[in-house]
Amino acid sequence: LVGTCAVLALVAATTAACGGGSSGSGSKSLEMITGVKSDPFYITMACAAQQEAKKRGVKLTVNGSAQWDVAVQRPIIDSVAAKHPSGLLISPVDTAALTPSLNQMQNAGTKIVLVDTTVSDASIGVSRISSDNVAGGRAAAKALAKLMGDKGSAIVISVKPGVSTTDERTKGFDEEMKANHPNITLLPVLYDNDLPATAASQIQSTLAAHPDLGGVFAGNTNTAQGISTGLQAAGKQGKVKVAAFDAEPDEVTSLKTGTLDVLVAQDPARIGTEGVDQALAAIDKKKVTASIGTDMVAITKANLDSASVGKYLYKD
Ligand code: T6T
């Protein structure tokens, strides 16, 4: 898999790994717009989508925002809409703000598949493919509570409000903590705008204000990276327990060195593959599955090297 991706990356020399167009001879065209182009989760998803599109003989062009920002993603949607693609696979960075643009595109005939993140308006998209993020948040809470000995303070640091995936993770985390770990004090959620440097300073100021901080839930990759840096700068790595979403290379390194304790890894490759298949099914007027849930796995140092976990580690 990695080898093929590397070849695709070389072909698309001017774009991010596997982020260029894949060729196709037919009249169907697929576009993909990810949340953040440089994010290993989306690179892995896009890479798998390109491989699937190639297999199916369809052209897929990958686009993505430079940052997690509605103002950055909206013009990308508008320029893709101008091409009138047959299908669009998109990870919208907000549950509401992008709905009008997507609605317009859908009304113009493009089959939209929501991959990873979603929008609140249920009329958008022929199919939605993602992890069960509430369940992932619950699993993170359960693991973190155990590591904390069911006591002390815990905090969630997430991306920004209005992101379907990370909001659901926070919801699941909160529910599990409140229902089953009443001796853990939950501090108010902080948002880092997907900026590691912000997460790093947030964790350091939280440590200064709450010396009993025993656990952190990092809502995604960039947040986890910032928390690792912040804990190391404060000399608290290994002392404050961390459960983090995702399994990109830096997070795996931090798991090995003991700064992060649990990774809730998703299966972005499957999201990408299914995204292409569902878009093509809709374009070809075949049976489409409205909602597809993809697997997650909790990774710790203990199972990191097991064969079943390898496929969940992201590429960059
Ligand atoms: O956690 C993933 C993705 O599921 C989420 O929607 C945004 O952040 C990531 O891309 C990881 O950085």
Q: Which atom of ligand 1 is nearest to the CA of 268?
A: 4
Which range, of 77-81, 139-143, 306-310, averages the lowest pLDDT? 306-310
Residue 264 three-state SS? strand
Q: Which atom of ligand 1 is nearest to the CA of 42?
A: 10
Do residues 133 and 147 touch, judged by C-beta distance below 8 A?
A: no
The number of CA neighbours under 13 Å toward the Cβ of 176 is 22
**ipTM of model:** 0.99
Q: How far is the CA of 42 from the centre of ligand 1 (A)?
A: 8
Q: How far is the CA of 83 from the centre of ligand 1 (A)?
A: 27
- What's the pLDDT at 12? 38
- What's the pLDDT at 313? 94
Taking the CB of residue 202, how many other CB atoms lie within 10 A of it? 21
| H/E element, 90 | strand 87-90
pLDDT band at 13 (very low <50, low <70, confident <90, very high): very low
Model pLDDT for residues 118-149, shown as the tens digit of each residue: 999 999 999 999 999 999 999 999 999 999 99
Give dist(CA 130, CA 294) in Å, integer: 6
| Helix boundaries (H) for the chain | 2-11, 40-55, 70-81, 99-107, 133-147, 164-180, 196-209, 221-233, 249-257, 268-283, 307-310
Residue given tokens 């700064």 in the structure block: 259
